[in-house]
Structure 1
Amino acid sequence: QSRLTATLLTSILAAVLGSLQIGYHTGNVNAPAKIQIIEEFFNHTWRARHNQSIPDHSLTLLWSLSVSIKDFGALLGSLGVKYLADSYGRNSILIVNCLSVVGACLMSASKASESFEILILGRLLFGLFCGLVMSLNPLYIQEVSPTNLRGAFATLNQVSFALGILVGMQVAGLETVLGTEHHWSMMLSLSLIPALTQYLVLTFCPESPRYLLLNQREERKAEALLRLRGSADKVLAELEEMKGEAAHTQTGVTIHEFFKKCRYKQPIIIVLVINMGSQLSGFNAIINYSTRMFQAKFDEAKYLTLGVGAVNVTFTLVAFFLMERAGRRRLLLTGFISIAVCNLLMTIVDSVLVPELRSLQVLLVFCLISAYELGPGPISWFIAAELFDQPGRPIAMAFTSMLNWGGKFVLALLFPPLLQKICGAYVYLLFMTAALFAFTFTWIRLPETKGRTFDDIAEEFRGAEGIPLHNKTGFNTFT
């Protein structure tokens, strides 16, 4: 049982400043939807150019593009994860941080330049940062953390993301703060504070010892591990475990080899199902459009949106404390089945136009968010780092990022027309189906990774293509 050291805590907190920025720019775009500040900026810019107001369908499309372009940029950014992680190390987070700085500057400059294209370009660049950092963060955190704290610390990435969403909603959503016609552009630049702080702190934090081992840097590896653990005895034991993992793996894996190797096929399918179940749960639709969902039925929709952010943070903290107690598998199963029930009830409530049931819809939204953050939310981002060995881990994290951000992009673009024009309230049945499928697959195929070394987990997938996971001796699937 390794203890928490100041260097380890500083390294992890510095790394999660990246996800804080991402959460902030997720929350602050949703918050002004109620008072239509940014939409009015679009309309004003269009009128100045064409001497007429922007058509409603064009405004809806432009708003959907502005929200979803970040996720599309993140999808593209995911393609660079393997190159950066293998070439410049796991804390190459510092390199990609410049995308966040440039993106925030462009977004805040859009009002002065009277160009919504600048705003969209800024969100696209920030999206590239999102795709890279949300893979590099869990990868770095998992590899610098001791086995007994690995899951809890990886959850801090989601805690920081949820906290960023709440801060974004708070700062942008209330007219008394920065969610005003005059200050909204300044609101978009506030992510520069954690970005610059990350440059100051993470620069002095150690590189991942596992990355250094993979690149034959023996002296630096031991030095980094000693700084992280603070005890020579712990260092020697962990070095042996790392060397054992390295002895079972080759030095590098190409993308083609990654998808062809038999030992990777089962983990790839597991990661695919968990991430798609997580993204198609309905959570991201609520985070992006909760103000609009509430404003049709409530006078003070912006305060309910802040409630969404508060519940989001609360249950990521609950997941942080439960991760090393309950385990990944149990939290995922609980989360997916709860999400399915919430979506079924939301379909019923939304279909029955009874004013008395409006408060029940708010309760169901809060319950769905709680269920998501209890398991699927945080675990979907880091489970790939636990299921794959050292050479395959960067590609696995890039694959995770592509699935997550691809799902977010599609949902952000399609949810408004699905809810308003095509499916209506029955859109939640699609989310329910995805959650039930993910629950069933997780029950049958996902091993428990809590408290197990990377090499121990990877050993289960070596050898034959189809391993009956629940029948393997010592494979802790159901405990």
Structure 2
Amino acid sequence: MEHEKQLTGTLAVAVFTAVLGSLQYGYSLGVINAPQKVIERHYGLSLGVWSERSAVLSENSTEEEDFFEAGHHPDVVMYWSLSVAIFSIGGMVSSFLVGFVGDLRGRVKGMLMVNVLAVAAGLLMGLCKMWKPHLMVIAGRAVMGFYCGLTSGLVPMYIGEIAPKAYRGALGTLHQLAVVVGILISQVIGLDFILGNDDMWPLLLGLSGSPAVLQSFLLPLCPESPRYLYILLGKEAEARKSLLRLKGAYDPSADLEEMRREKEEADREARVSILSLIRSSVYRQQLLVALMMHLSQQLSGINAIFYYSTAIFAFAGVDKPVYATIGVGAINTVFTLVSVALVDKAGRRTLTLVGLGGMCCCAIGMTVGLKFQSDYEWMSYVSMSAIFLFVSFFEIGPGPIPWFIVAELFSQGPRPAAIALAGCCNWTSNFIVGMTFPYIQDLLGVYVFVLFAVLLLGFTVFIYLRVPETKGKTFEEIAAVFHKGRKKSLKDATELQQLKTSTDA
């Protein structure tokens, strides 16, 4: 057991290298927001719809009608919206390919191959002034979204397969930690006096490809997933070597025995495609849990906070709302660290329930604060506190846990297909929230967070009733929990049918 708990240098390097992909994902998520006006100005000039004067007006306007005339040209708005949305579309498409890429040459080589996309995307955006900025940025964002869809599946899959059982939760949470650190870095260096200005914004966008360069140098030093080597390729000697590199000098017999049993199970069942996973009744419970966990993350309202926190803080009377938004990013990071510390002690289910329940209360608090802000000055502090607490509760559970729990819920056979489906569900719901939130906000006004409070309450009830605790369990034991529940429901259905038959008789 002592060796089970051992954290080696090789494991640390492997996890650090993998989460560089997650850092890049976070940076790409956050980087587009800060320099919006600067980028719109260059789009307008490139399209020839603005003169230099109107472009200056769009950035420095104080007159509302001047700003409307200069800053809201339909072509500029369309290309800007496309620059933001195309990222999610790229992720939605590529998330289906996670299993294929991960199985093609292995998890490590898979991550190495897709880095070509990240570097290409960074170059397209970094050199966008050389041609038409609006087309170059949109192309770069599409390619980067495609890369991020793959990496948001490959990273949790690799970490889930190499992490010792005792540290699987903490190491799995590092994916989300790297995402929020990436968002925070992009917010800070996106300030106008650093890179978010007229001259430097292409470099700001282009830097989103830089973690891939460092990761490409480090990946050859990382051991391949022992589970991939043994269960998929049947290479026991190589799996043993990989385990010894990851865990140090110990007896790997117990781990190899667990993999042998899982391989026998995997050999008995056909390779599970995405379509057969959707149709299969065997994995229905696990799949429902996996998809609901990802939906709870995206439909919680967190993206509404991330996308519109600057506007909410401005409405609450904060002088420099951009700094309050960076404060949200910092709290994001701190509470993800709290989750890293707690997830293997308190458990996945407990932290998710605490997080969703807390967010539900904060959404109600935010609604009350925004509603009575004009009547009572102190209510602005209520809405601001609710925003900060909302983000804190999100990062304790609903933020990090869905990403790695999918790898825990499924055995080796259906795991890549399940991660692909969960990833697609995540990206699609992210896209829907991003596109529809402004319209819902117009419709509901200050009551918009009541909608999220209702959704959060529903997700909390579902997770309380249907999600088992996976802390400290082997992949076999987790699968057994669902099979036991399935057998029980089949038995109940059979008894009900027998009872009905005897009654009819």
TM over 0.5: yes
**Are 1:159 and 2:160 counterparts?**
no
Residue of structure 2 in register with 1:370 after alignment: 392
The C-alpha deviation readout for 1:242-284, integer Å capped at 9, x for no partner, is: 1122222336212232122222000111112111111011111
User: Offset of 1:32 from its aligned partner?
Assistant: 2.5
List aligned pairs for 1:196-235, cutoff 5 A. Answer: 196-213=213-230, 214-233=232-251, 235=252
Aligned match of 1:19 in 7, 19, 22?
22
CA distance in 2, matches of 1:324, 1:407: 28
Q: Do the aligned partners of 2:35 and 2:192 also contact (CA within 8 Å) in 1? A: no
Amino acid at match of 2:404: F
Q: Which 5+ residue runs of structure 2 have no aligned equivalent?
A: 55-69, 493-505
Between the two proteins, the alignment pairs up a number of residues equal to 465
Distance 1:62 1:460, change over 3 A: same
Does residue 321 of structure 1 match 2:338?
A: no
Structure 1: which amino acid aligns with 2:399? G
Report how far residue 11 of structure 1 moved. 0.4
Q: Give the aligned residue type for 2:292.
A: V
> Aligned partners of 1:46, 1:353: CA distance in 2, in Å?
41
Change (3 A) 1:224 1:162: same
| 1: CA distance, partners of 2:74 / 2:453 | 29
Offset, 1:60:
4.2
Q: How far is the alpha carbon of 1:232 from its aligned partner? A: 3.3
- 2:91 corresponds, among 74, 86, 91, to 74
- C-alpha distance in structure 1 between counterparts of 2:134 and 2:260, whole Å: 53
Which residue in 2 is equivalent to 1:477? none
**Contact kept in structure 1, 2:367 and 2:383, CA below 8 Å:** no
2:131 aligned to 102, 110, 113, which one? 113
Decide whether aligned partners of structure 1 residues 25 and 54 sit closer, same or farther in structure 2, where only a CA change above 3 A counts.
same
Whether the 8 Å CA contact 1:31–1:291 is kept in 2: the answer is no
Which range moved further: 120-129 or 109-118? 109-118
- Give me the whole-angstrom Cα distance separating, in 2, the residues matched to 1:219 and 1:90: 18
SS of the residue corresponding to residue 451 of structure 1 reads coil
2:116 aligned with 1:98: yes
Paired AA for residue 114 in structure 2? V
| Alignment partner, residue 243 of structure 1 | 260
State the percentage of identical aligned residues. Answer: 38
- Counterpart-to-counterpart distance in 2, 1:124 and 1:49: 26
In the TM superposition, what is the alpha-carbon distance from 1:406 to its structure 2 partner?
0.9
Tell me the CA shift for residue 322 of structure 1. Answer: 0.3
2:417 is matched with 395
Preserved CA contact (<8 Å) 1:30 1:291: no
Residue 407 of structure 2 is matched in structure 1 by 385
2:471 counterpart residue number: 450
Contact 1:166-1:306 within 8 A present in 2 as well: yes
For 1:413, the equivalent position in structure 2 comes to 435
Q: CA offsets, 1:227-250, max 9 Å, x none? A: 1111231x1111111112222233
* SS of match in other structure, 1:304: helix
How far 1:57 moved relative to its partner?
A: 5.1
In the other structure, the counterpart of 2:39 is: 38
Mapped to 1, the partners of 2:92 and 2:486 lie a distance apart of 29
Are 2:155 and 1:137 equivalent residues in the alignment? yes
Out of 312, 334, 337, the residue aligned to residue 293 of structure 1 is 312
**What is the DSSP-based 3-state SS (H/G/I as helix, E as strand, rest coil) of the residue aligned with 1:382?**
helix
Separation (CA, whole Å) in 2 of partners of 1:323 and 1:109: 42
Give the structure 2 partner of residue 438 of structure 1: 459
* Amino acid corresponding to residue 359 of structure 1 in structure 2: Y
- Higher Rg: 2
Opposite residue 171 of structure 2, the aligned amino acid is F
Q: Distance in 2 between matches of 1:232 and 1:28?
A: 44
Contact 1:31–1:305 at 8 Å: present in 2 too?
Answer: no
Name structure 1 gaps, 5 residues minimum: 472-479
Displacement after TM superposition at 1:351 (Å)? 2.2
Distance 1:192 1:272, change over 3 A: closer
Alignment check: 8 A CA contact 2:20 2:215 kept: yes
Say which SS state the counterpart of residue 78 (structure 1) adopts.
helix
Alpha-carbon shift at residue 59 of structure 1 (Å): 4.2
Do the aligned partners of residues 113 and 293 (structure 1) sit closer, same or farther apart at CA in structure 2, a change above 3 Å counting? farther
Equivalents in 1 of 2:359, 2:169: separation in Å? 22
Q: 1:442 to 1:133 in 2, by over 3 A?
A: same
Q: Does 2:358 align with 1:357? A: no
Show the counterpart of 1:264: 283
In 1, the alpha carbon distance for the partners of 2:73 and 2:462 equals 42
CA contact (8 A) 2:122 2:210 kept: no
CA distance in 2, matches of 1:368, 1:309: 12
Amino acid at match of 1:418: I
- Partner Cα distance (2:456, 2:107) in 1: 32
- CA drift at 1:49: 8.0
Code of the aligned partner of 2:261 = G
- Name 1:312's counterpart in structure 2: 332
